Chain A
Amino acid sequence: MHASERPDGDVVEVRVPADVAYVSTLRLAAAGLAARCELTIDDIEDLRLAVDEACALLLPHADKSSILDARFELNYGCLAVDVAVATEGPAELDRKGFAWTVLGALASSIDIEQTDDRVTISLTKRREATSQ
């Protein structure tokens, strides 16, 4: 890929109903965009699962008719994903369960931002280092 074709700084936003049925759409979007970022296919597998886990953590706190907001920021070798839902009152994300563990293990870094009516999980996936 030529430098001019690098996706650096490009932002893609996807809004879907806060419903488990749309999680696969976000997974696919994440995979497609990760390819634009030149992540490896193993990274992409991890990212799909990480997006799954992030949604699994968020969805229980979303009210039924709300929107699941996903924002992807593309850079060469790194995809940053923010997923957010509107909540009724401050949400207490389950940080003891497996979803949290798995998310932490699969993403290169994770962060959570909570306000009174919104919770956002930010995760990044960087291209894996060359082994050997």
Chain B
Amino acid sequence: MTSPSRPTGHEDEKPATELLAELHRLPVDSPRRKALRDELVEAHMPLVVYLARRFSGRNEPMTDLVQVGAIGLLKAIDRFDPGRGLEFSTYATPTILGEIKRHFRDTGWLIHVPRRAQELQTTVNTARADLSQELGRAPTVSELAARIEVDEEAVLEALDAARAYSGVPLDVLAAPGETVPEHPMLGVVDEGFEQVEQRALLREVIAKLPESEREILLLRFVANKTQTEIAAIVGVSQMQVSRLVARGLKRLRASLGAPEEPPKN
């Protein structure tokens, strides 16, 4: 269903429609596909750049935004069904935007936001992921407010903070009373890894972790992958990776005893 006032008749859409129709007809292994896709990507990169620019001022390099936007464009090209009579740029726009928004959710931010909103935002993020799972759609503001027991205004405030985009809920890594590391790279367990004695112990403890947590911790701290990369490798969401890392670390810490205790010589 398209309303008559929807954008129609871009001059550059005609060849795109034909290219897409041809691409759609080709067998999956046809070597011609690559050339067609390249041409389509090139034709629509200005749209990607335009959309990426909507998010400038959030302290992410434009080139990164354009790149993730291009991933969205590729997905749109592959998924587009020419039979549905929809304009490709109309179809591609939400896909490209989705990819850019996801990038912000996954990579953390550098823009200053009020502390309270920032803390609440961690909670909102978790509730958002949980509710999306339960409802099969994104939650409403009032649903979020009910779940985390704050008023809607506070959720809106936190969502505004989310527009500056936080990635990693770091405070979960810290035990009660412990100082929260300022930066994701300042992992709490690092000191433990440094100690040879503890390393042997750690190996034992790691071996006892559930497989999913073990794999993710190794990817995170040994292979030094980002949560986003791990999410792609393992095939779960970045929020899920975040939770598994937190849970795995907590388990490790519990198994090793109090982490703030200085190692004995």
A contact set with B: CB distance below 8 Å: 1, 31-32, 35, 38-46, 49, 52, 95-96, 98, 100-102, 104-106, 109-112, 127-132
Contacts and interface: CB of A to CB of B under 8 A. Distances in A.
Closest 6 CB pairs of A and B: A105-B93, A35-B141, A42-B138, A40-B138, A98-B50, A132-B136
B138 A41 contact: yes
Contacts of B156: 31-32, 35
Given A42-B138, A104-B90, A49 B97 contact: yes
A112 B93 contact: no
Contact of B7 (A35, A101, A128, A131): A101
Interface string B31-50: 00000000000000011001
A110 B97 CA distance: 19
Contacts of A105: 89-91, 93-94
B265 interface: no
B144 interface: yes
A130 B155 CA distance: 22
B47 A41 contact: no
B215 interface: no
Contact of A45 (B47, B101, B137): B101
A44 B141 contact: yes
Given A102-B50, A110-B3, A43 B138 contact: yes
Nearest to B89: A101
Given A31-B159, A41-B144, A49-B54, 16 more contacts: A38-B141, A38-B142, A40-B138, A41-B138, A41-B159, A96-B11, A98-B47, A101-B89, A101-B90, A102-B51, A104-B7, A106-B93, A111-B5, A112-B5, A131-B137, A132-B136
Contacts of A95: 7
B96 to A, nearest CB: 9
19 contacts: A35-B140, A35-B141, A40-B137, A40-B138, A40-B139, A42-B138, A46-B94, A101-B47, A102-B50, A102-B54, A104-B5, A104-B6, A105-B91, A105-B94, A106-B93, A106-B94, A128-B137, A128-B138, A131-B136
B6 A52 contact: no
Contacts of B47: 98, 101
A131 B155 CA distance: 23
Contacts of A45: 101
Residue picked from A31, A42, A49, A52, most chain B C-beta under 10 Å: A42
A94 to B, nearest CB: 11
A101 to B, nearest CB: 5
A101 B6 CA distance: 8
Nearest to B6: A104
Nearest to B101: A45
